[in-house]
Amino acid sequence: MKLYQRFLDGIPWYLARHYWWAYLWPRSVWFFDHQPIINAILFGQYRKLMDTTIERLKEAPLERVLQLTCVYGSLTPSLIRQISTPLHITDAAMIQLELARSKSTGTSELLPTRMNAESLGYKQDVFTTTVLFFLLHEMPAEARRNTLSEAMRTLAPGGTLLITEYGPLPTGHWLYRFLPFRWLLTTLEPFLDGFWHDNLPALLNEMASLHGKSVCQSWNSTIFSGFYRVSEFKLSSTPQNEAG
């Protein structure tokens, strides 16, 4: 049995195989959940990325908010502080959900559920805002498509999708041009190159159309010279005669 297979218990294969050392191994969960470590991984941009996401959240409809998968650091408690209803959070890894729960003070402010983001158990159109923070680049193309399809299905027309992520292929960025670094990053993040080449607005629209909806990018902020981005998308329902 390979080491990663010990982590497969209900976990998507790519997560166990490529990220057991980051999200599933108790020692690494302890290690990575320190502000200086996360900040170093994001080249000192963590605070800016989180603050920009939270600033945008303030403009979003906050009746029912989903954080689609857990993250290290203080994003979850910051989201909780912004909304007056419980924050829904879902993740495939129990250890991550427990960590998220340990960061919430009240029992009714967080509604954690263990699910695969590719096939959520939520009803359609239930959320008014969904937040994806550095999830998509860690997924193989098919899982990314499935997850975005589920995000589009569960988000109500009029709702907001906030995506904080790597930017599009950063060919001009010094980090990308420095080959040893690019090799290291794409070795640690084996699906990042696929994500870099995705046209996110087009992909979102393709997935939204499966559910009779469409999205438009309503706001975008580039961070660290375009290496990262915070993007806001608004969802609407497609009129019947346009829905193909």
Ligand X SMILES: C[S@@+](CC[C@H](N)C(=O)[O-])C[C@H]1O[C@@H](n2cnc3c(N)ncnc32)[C@H](O)[C@@H]1O
What residues line the site for ligand X (CB under 6 A)? 12, 15, 23, 38, 69-73, 91-93, 96, 116-118, 133-135, 138, 143
Cβ closer to ligand X: 99 or 214?
A: 99
* Closer of 73 and 159 to ligand X (Cβ): 73
CB of 225 to ligand X, least distance (A): 20
Name the minimum Å distance from CB 119 to ligand X. 9
CB of 244: closest distance to ligand X in angstroms?
A: 28
CB 138, min distance to ligand X, A: 5
* Residue 71 or 155 with smaller CB distance to ligand X: 71
Q: Min. distance of Cβ 207 from ligand X in angstroms?
A: 15
The least CB distance from residue 9 to ligand X, in Å, is 12
Q: What are phi and psi of 134, to 5 degrees?
A: 55, 40
Q: Please say which residue, 71 or 204, places its beta carbon nearer to ligand X.
A: 71
Q: Which is nearer to ligand X, 121 or 158 (CB)?
A: 121
**Pairwise CA distance, residues 163 & 149, whole Å:** 14
* Residue number, 51 or 242, with CB nearest to ligand X: 51
Who's near 33: CB < 8 A, 6+ residues apart?
72, 73, 99
